[in-house]
Chain A
Amino acid sequence: MQATRRILLKAGAALALLTVLPRALLAAAWPQKAFLSTDGRQALTALLGTDQTIPSNQITLKLPEIAENGAVVPVTIRTTLENVESISVVVENNPRPLVVNFELMSRALPEVSTRIKMADTTRVLAVVKTDTGIYSTSKHVKVTLGGCA
Chain B
Amino acid sequence: MASKIKIKTRLSDDVAEVKSLMLHPMETGARKDPDTGELVPRHHITQLIFTNNGDAVMVANFSTAVSKNPYINFSFRGAKAGDTLKVSWVDTRGGSDELETVLS
Task: List residues of A whose CB falls within 8 A of some B CB.
Answer: 22, 26-27, 29-31, 35, 71-73, 76, 91, 94-96, 98-105, 107-109, 111-118, 147-149
Known: A109-B76, A111-B75, A113-B72. A35 touches B67 (CB 8 A): no
Given A27-B90, A94-B65, A115-B67, A108 and B76 contact (CB-CB distance below 8 Å): yes
List, sorted by A's number, 25 A–B pairs whose CB atoms are closer than 8 Å.
Answer: A26-B56, A27-B90, A29-B61, A30-B47, A91-B65, A100-B66, A105-B55, A105-B56, A105-B57, A105-B58, A105-B76, A107-B52, A107-B77, A108-B74, A109-B76, A112-B58, A112-B74, A113-B71, A113-B73, A115-B66, A116-B65, A116-B66, A116-B67, A118-B65, A149-B64
A107's partner among B60, B76, B90 (CB-CB below 8 A) is B76
- Interface residue from A26, A104, A111, A114 paired with B71 (Cβ < 8 Å): A114
Chain A residues near B56: list those with CB within 8 A: 22, 26, 105
13 additional contacts, CB 8 Å, given A107-B76, A107-B78?
Answer: A26-B49, A30-B46, A30-B47, A31-B61, A35-B62, A35-B63, A99-B66, A100-B60, A100-B63, A107-B57, A111-B75, A113-B71, A115-B66
Whether B70 pairs with A117 at a CB distance below 8 angstroms is no
Q: Can you list the 6 inter-chain pairs with the closest CB atoms, starting with the nearest?
A: A115-B67, A113-B73, A103-B59, A149-B65, A101-B61, A30-B46
Measured CA separation A101–B62 after assembly (Å): 7
Residue contact B70 to A114, C-beta cutoff 8 Å: yes
Which residues in B have some Cβ–Cβ distance to A below 8 Å?
15, 28, 30-31, 46-47, 49, 52, 55-68, 70-78, 90
Known: A102-B60, A103-B58, A103-B59. A115 touches B70 (CB 8 A): yes
In the complex, which residues of chain A have a beta carbon less than 8 angstroms from the beta carbon of B72?
Answer: 112-114
- Chain B contact surface mostly: strand
Minimum CB–CB distance from A146 to chain B (whole Å) comes to 12
Q: Which residue of B lies closest to A105 (CB)?
A: B57
Centre residue among B49, B62, B75, B77 by max chain A CB count within 10 A = B62
Chain B residues closer than 8 Å to A98, beta-carbon distance: 63
Contacts of A107 in B (CB 8 A): 52, 55, 57, 76-78
Residue of A nearest to B46 (CB): A30
